[in-house]
Structure 1
Amino acid sequence: MASDSDSVHSDSNEEKRLKKPQKKPYAQKYMSSWEKDPLMEKWLARSKINERHFYCEVCNADYTTVGGRSNLLKHRKSSKHVQRATTLRKQPVINNQSFKRERQVSHQIKYSEIRIAAFMVEHNIALNTADHLTKLIKAISPDSEVAKGISCSRTKCTKIVQNVTGYSQFEQIVQCLQTTKFSLLVDESTDVSATKHLALVVRFFNNGRINDVFLALIPTPIVTGQALYDHVIAFFKKHNIPYISNMIGSASDGASNMFGTHHSLSVLLKKDIPHLFLMKCICHSFALCANYACEKLPRVIEDIARDVFNYIQHSYKRLSVLKQFQEFLGLKPHKLLHPSQTRWLSLLQVVKRLLEQYDALILFFTDAVYEDKVLAADMILSRLKEKYVKIYLQFLEYVLPYFTNLNLEMQSEETKIHQLYSRVSTVYKTLLNCFLKSDYVRNTAVEKILFDNPHNFVVIEEVYLGAKVTASISNGSHGLSLEQLSDFRLRCLQFYIEACKQLVKRFNFQDPNLQVFKELGFLDPTQMRSHNSIAPLASKFPNLVHENALNDLDSEWRELKNLEINVPLAPSIDYWETVSKLKLGDGSVKFHHLSDFVRNLHCLPHSSAAVERIFSQIQLNKTKVRNRLEAETLSGILHTKTLIGNDQ
């Protein structure tokens, strides 16, 4: 019994001992004096958790201060702390001068490699040249740390163009298009490798000026209107560009896949954006007008230009002989030009050069006939000696500048859409005055003139054919028979009629839709007071001006007409930018609605010449030797060119 009682007693003592609360270990508060301890000063810091923790900068972690200083020293000897401290000792100190120097050199190397790539793009140098250029730089700068570190081979150079300079410019453009109104200029062409590309150029307002900027180059094996539309829309959706709300205009040439009546790119875009402004390139249109009109003249004129060029230009011996005759006659040793079908302004330059070198050509081909006995030279000489050939060339020298000068003006990147109606009507009336009665042209509205009615013609002898032709006929030096002279006048009259017919076909003054061009004349500060209200024009652009803002817009316009602003009148965008900076007394913009409306109108396209310039750049880079350049690399090159142009 005694043993049992002793056992119960011992069990109760054990329970009491177990139930007795344990004493919590004392957690030493963090002491700032520890940071001065030589053993801990390089890694110890105060914890942000609380006062009973410390922070180890080596381990990048917080630990408890239980145990006080002894616990900190114990942590210092732990395997984790020792391993990380050893690793950090091998790394350079951030404020070390040698480390700063290494970073500086590294930055200069990267900068130099980008500059090399940009230089090659700017000067249309093959990217393969980068292999040799890098070695050359190292060879001529053996003591330069930067030159030693450059490793910009053709692969790296290509990637810099694609993913650094090109992509940087592309991102900037996309960001602008996501928030800015823009117009789209489109064209497609086949390059030297028989690859067909669709080029996209955007026209938008940025940094106080209008920009025509290359956007994308898309390979398009199929160029139907639907295929082009699918490519354009897919591109916009891929890059999150809200084209339905932000695209206000589109321009291209008059090809059926671009501007056809039924299922072209313009028709499909118009379905998505009902108020989209569409513009056939006026430069293409005027070039076609001149080409169709020239068909009314004898074909021999164009044949002579081609035959003379083909006979002389590709032979060094013949060029040398021609140069001797040029020097004998005191003429400048200019080369002959080729009449190209794809270059809008080539015909006038060919005509001028032929007239300039006409006497030298007569001597050259006379020598070729009698000395070399060449049959082709005999045929060309006989044509050059025909009196009507020179007088036809003189007529073309007079009349073609009406087309080429307007063409040149409309190729400008400045806003010209507000001048389009007045410039086309001026050229149209000038041509009409050459063969219609002056009173009829002066007293009849331009849209009502009947240019093909013989009742309105002047007599055939009074048809104006240019100063040189008139003087030649007046003094009798033309050498034509009466029959030849009558035929010459009749053909020139047919030229005028056909030119006017083609012009009206492409710019029909009777079309109510063309009134928008007339109303856009208010953008010219010199013409603004002739417009009483811009509400009719604004109503045609509901995507630019909300109906509720029409009153505010027109009120601002009427107030501006009575405000004198001393600003240079050309270009007009400078005037309107000055207007946009005028403030009210409370600091708000005085002409807010008007400024936004005008900026967007300046983005409307008047031609697609900017896209043609893109294809010219492609031809400079993708040649017979460099015929494997892909669209991605070409896009990078074109974007880099834009970036370089912006920085200059």
Structure 2
Amino acid sequence: MVIETTAHVLFDKIVEEITDFGQILKNCIGFASDGAASMVGSKNSVWSRIKTESPDCIQMKCICHSLSLCIEHAFSKLPANVGFLLTEVPLWFSNSAIRREEFKSLFKIMNPVNEGNVSLPFQTLSKTRWLVRGKVLYNILMNWEELLGYFSTCEAKLSISAKYKCRLLKEMLADRINYFYFLFATPVVQEFEMINSTFQQENSDPHELSKELMMHHQSLYERHLNKDGTYKTLENVDFGAKFIQEINNFTLTAGTQVNKN
């Protein structure tokens, strides 16, 4: 048990435990941990200390944490609008039962036949829960038109402080480019999280887990790279069937409107 989680304290505790088992750190052949800076940073971490004592030791980061960090890094490359919608839409409803009920009522009106078939966009994003981002993306994407309808009609009865955010969310949802980013990102993130959840299962077959991870890597590779490792042209990149279909429909509609004008 440790009170502090600094690299120094954790390293000393590891050495103490190893010594209690009659071993020495120099014999360590592998070190597995999450990706926290105090654990695996290049300087002044548990790993840097272990590497000094045991140069032949191999580092093995947590697969689940690494997959989550891949998604987090990828999202940092997307426009800020995507992250804003992902955070602020669920937060808008999180502390207000009235807002949730108003959205549910609007959803029923807009979907009289499919009522209840789609998850509502109330689940909030969490940095500590690795399998949430894909669900939040999906819930917002599946309720995109309903959310646009809601934020287009709710501004009048809001307080002054809430009007600005409501208007901002409405404008972002009305921007089709933001919709396309969600359409592209959602299946990719869900694929990462599916692999992540597989690795979190108990009593899984290591061989099968390795195969799943390799298939996932190959799938990502083939979407944007040729067999020789060169980047595909934009026309040949696999953005997903639904994304391509929606882009083509949008292009045709925009072209028709331009011709009419």
TM-score (norm 1): 0.35
- Indicate which of 237, 240, 252 corresponds to 1:463: 237
Q: Which of residues 334, 353, 360 is equivalent to 2:139?
A: 353
CA contact (8 A) 1:220 1:228 kept: no
Deviation of residue 305 (structure 1)?
A: 2.1
- For residue 340 of structure 1, report the CA deviation from its aligned partner: 2.0
Where 2:154 maps in the other structure, the secondary structure is helix
Amino acid at match of 1:402: E
1:296 to 77, 80, 89: 77
1:308 pairs with 63, 73, 89, which one? Answer: 89
Post-superposition shift, 1:269?
3.9
Q: Conserved in 1, the CA contact under 8 Å of 2:2 and 2:10?
A: no
Query: Residues of 2 paired with 1:256 and 1:418: CA distance?
Result: 29
Q: Is the 8 A contact 2:89 2:121 kept in 1?
A: no
What's the offset of the Cα at 1:388?
1.1
Aligned to 1:241: 21
CA spacing shift, 1:371–1:256, aligned 2, 3 Å:
closer
The residue aligned with 1:65 is: none
Q: Is the 8 A contact 1:244 1:272 kept in 2?
A: no
Q: Which stretch shifts more, 409-418 or 341-350?
A: 409-418
- Tell me the amino acid that sits aligned with residue 233 of structure 1: V
Q: Which amino acid aligns with 1:428?
A: H
SS of match in other structure, 2:135: helix
User: Which residue number corresponds to residue 61 of structure 2?
Assistant: 280
What is the Cα deviation at residue 351 of structure 1? 0.7
Name which one, 1 or 2, has greater alpha-carbon Rg: 1
SS for the counterpart of 1:242 is coil
Q: Distance in 2 between matches of 1:410 and 1:285?
A: 11
Q: Which moved more, 1:408-417 or 1:280-289?
A: 408-417
Residue 221 of structure 1: aligned partner: 4
Residue of structure 1 equivalent to 2:40: 259
2: CA distance between counterparts of 1:425 and 1:307? 35
- Number of the residue aligned with 1:380: 169
- Aligned 8 A contact 2:33 2:60 in 1: yes
1:139-538 matched pairs, under 5 angstroms: 218-221=1-4, 223-224=6-7, 226-237=8-19, 240-244=20-24, 249-261=30-42, 263-269=44-50, 276-330=57-111, 331-332=115-116, 334-372=120-158, 374-414=163-203, 417-419=206-208, 422-437=211-226, 441=227, 444=228, 449=229, 456-476=230-250
Q: 1:392 offset after TM fit, Å? A: 1.1
Cα distance in 2 for partners of 1:221, 1:388 equals 46
Q: Which amino acid aligns with 1:426?
A: M
> Contact 2:90–2:122 at 8 Å: present in 1 too?
yes
Shift of 1:318: 1.0
Cα 1:278–1:432 shift into 2, 3 Å: closer
CA separation of 1:257 and 1:405: change in aligned 2, threshold 3 A: same
Measured in 1, the distance between the counterparts of 2:51 and 2:172 equals 52
**Which amino acid counterpart does residue 146 of structure 2 have in structure 1?**
A
CA RMSD of aligned residues (A): 3.0
Considering Cα pairs closer than 8 Å and 6+ residues apart, tell me whether 1 or 2 has the greater RCO: 1
Question: Can you list the C-alpha shifts for 1:570-625, whole angstroms capped at 9, x where unaligned?
Answer: xxxxxxxxxxxxxxxxxxxxxxxxxxxxxxxxxxxxxxxxxxxxxxxxxxxxxxxx
CA contact (8 A) 2:18 2:24 kept: no
In 2 relative to 1, CA 458–230 (structure 1 residues): closer, same or farther, beyond 3 Å?
closer
User: Matches of 2:254 and 2:62 in 1, distance apart?
Assistant: 40
The alpha-carbon distance between structure 1 residues 321 and 262, as it changes in their structure 2 partners (threshold 3 A), is closer
The percent of aligned pairs where both chains have the same amino acid is 25
Distance in 2 (CA, whole Å) between partners of 1:424 and 1:326 is: 38
State the 1:370 CA deviation: 4.1
Matches for 1:487-636 after TM superposition, within 5 Å: none
C-alpha displacement at 1:469, in angstroms? Answer: 0.8
**Offset at residue 304 of structure 1 (A):** 1.4
> Which segments of 5 or more consecutive residues in structure 1 lack a partner in the other structure?
1-217, 450-455, 482-648
The amino acid of 1:325's aligned partner reads L
TM-score by length of 2: 0.79
What SS does the corresponding residue of 1:405 show, helix, strand or coil? helix
Could you tell me how far apart the structure 1 residues matched to 2:176 and 2:121 are? 23
Cα offset, 1:264, TM superposition: 3.1
Distance in structure 2 (CA, Å) of the matches to 1:309 and 1:422? 35
Amino acid at match of 1:471: Q
**Distance (whole Å) between structure 2 residues aligned to residue 262 and residue 296 of structure 1:** 26
Contact kept? 1:365, 1:377, Cα under 8 Å: yes
Q: Distance in 2 between matches of 1:458 and 1:351?
A: 27
Distance change in 2, residues 1:412/1:475 (3 Å): same
| Contact 1:387/1:479 (<8 A) preserved | no
Structure 1 Cα separation of the partners of residues 71 and 129 of structure 2:
12
Cα deviation for residue 325 of structure 1 reads 1.1
Shift of 1:322: 0.9
Q: Which runs of no fewer than 5 residues in structure 2 stay unpaired?
A: 256-261
Distance 1:329 1:302, change over 3 A: same
Contact 1:387 1:478 in 2 (8 A): no
Query: What is the one-letter code of the residue matched to 2:120?
Result: H
Provide the rounded CA distance (Å) in 2 between the counterparts of 1:366 and 1:254: 42
Instruction: Tell me which protein shows more strand as a share of its residues.
Output: 1
Residue 349 of structure 1 and its aligned partner are, at CA, apart by 0.7
Q: 1:236, 1:242 within 8 Å by CA — same for their partners in 2?
A: yes
